[in-house]
């Protein structure tokens, strides 16, 4: 199967996606080889447990297997990061529920989901696309350092100390950068008519 002409996935990532598309189980090993460390770090940052992180990576790989096809990601790395993040959030929510002795708060909120329109409505999907567009535009407007700090903290859930070490700066600089970036984002969302 030749790569699509408009595909953003090239090289090794293209080969991995092709393996998923033809249902070659080696695709899972290939994605683990290339993105496993990133996925595991991300999961560990979110749930704080190495054993759980390994299970989350497996869950994310299974999610990729189940979603490719019909979906074909434009960029494999961010796609696997999103699957890992979603699996981590599910695990965190499930663990939090268990620790609360049955999770009445989470259960009651999940009951409310039946009454409140979810992600399936066309309006919600349109609002989500608009929010995504504004955030992408906002991130593009940031300087490289600001953007890296913001993404590492709020997408990969890296700790402040880890970001500071990676960026070669102090924790106070990271904290201040995050504060200022959040303030800029809030102003940008308000300017676009998106109120939080």
pLDDT digits (tens, 9 = 90+) for 125-140: 566 677 778 888 888 9
With a pLDDT cut of 90, the percent of the chain lying above it is 37
The CATH number that domain 11-101 falls under is: 1.10.1740.10
Mean pLDDT of the chain: 79
What integer pLDDT is reported at residue 62 of this predicted model? 93
Q: How far apart are CA 57 and CA 63, in angstroms?
A: 10
- Give the domain ranges of the chain: 11-101, 122-189
In this model, does residue 114 exceed pLDDT 50? no
CA distances to 5, 28, 55, 104 from 10, in Å: 10, 18, 28, 47
Q: How far apart are the first and last CA of the chain?
A: 45
Q: How far apart are CA 139 and CA 128, in angstroms?
A: 16
The crossing angle, in degrees rounded to 10, of helices 122-141 and 171-191 is 130
Domain 122-189 is of which CATH architecture?
Orthogonal Bundle (1.10)
Among 87, 89, 103, CA closest to 54 = 87
For 3-13, what is the mean pLDDT?
A: 58
pLDDT interval class at 11 (50, 70, 90): confident
What integer pLDDT is reported at residue 74 of this predicted model? 83
More confident residue, 65 or 121: 65
Rounded to whole angstroms, the maximal C-alpha distance in the chain is 53
In this model, does residue 118 exceed pLDDT 60? no
The answer to whether 146 and 154 have CB atoms below 8 angstroms apart is no
pLDDT digits (tens, 9 = 90+) for 70-112: 888 888 998 999 899 889 888 877 776 555 444 433 433 344 3
Q: Helices marked H in 6-143 — which ranges?
A: 11-21, 26-47, 50-67, 76-99, 104-113, 122-141
| DSSP 8-state symbol, 96 | H
Is the backbone peptide bond immediately before 7 cis, with ω within 30 degrees of 0? no
């Amino acid at each position: 199967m030749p790569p699509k002409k408009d595909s953003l996935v090239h090289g090794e990532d293209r080969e991995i996606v092709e393996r998923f598309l033809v249902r070659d189980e080696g695709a899972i090993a290939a994605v683990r080889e290339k993105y496993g460390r990133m996925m595991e770090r991300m999961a560990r940052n979110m749930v704080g447990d190495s054993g759980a992180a390994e299970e989350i990576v497996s869950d994310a790989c299974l999610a990729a297997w189940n979603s490719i096809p019909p979906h074909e990601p434009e960029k494999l790395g961010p796609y696997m990061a999103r699957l890992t993040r979603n699996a981590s959030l599910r695990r965190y929510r499930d663990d939090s529920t268990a620790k609360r002795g049955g999770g009445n708060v989470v259960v009651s909120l999940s009951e409310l989901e039946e009454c409140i329109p979810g992600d399936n409505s066309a309006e919600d999907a349109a609002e989500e696309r608009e929010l995504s567009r504004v955030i992408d535009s906002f991130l593009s407007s940031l300087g490289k350092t600001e953007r890296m700090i913001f993404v590492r903290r709020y997408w990969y859930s890296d700790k402040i100390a880890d970001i500071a070490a990676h960026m070669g700066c102090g924790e106070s600089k990271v904290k201040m950068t995050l504060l200022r970036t959040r303030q800029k984002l809030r102003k940008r969302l308000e300017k676009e008519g998106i109120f939080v």
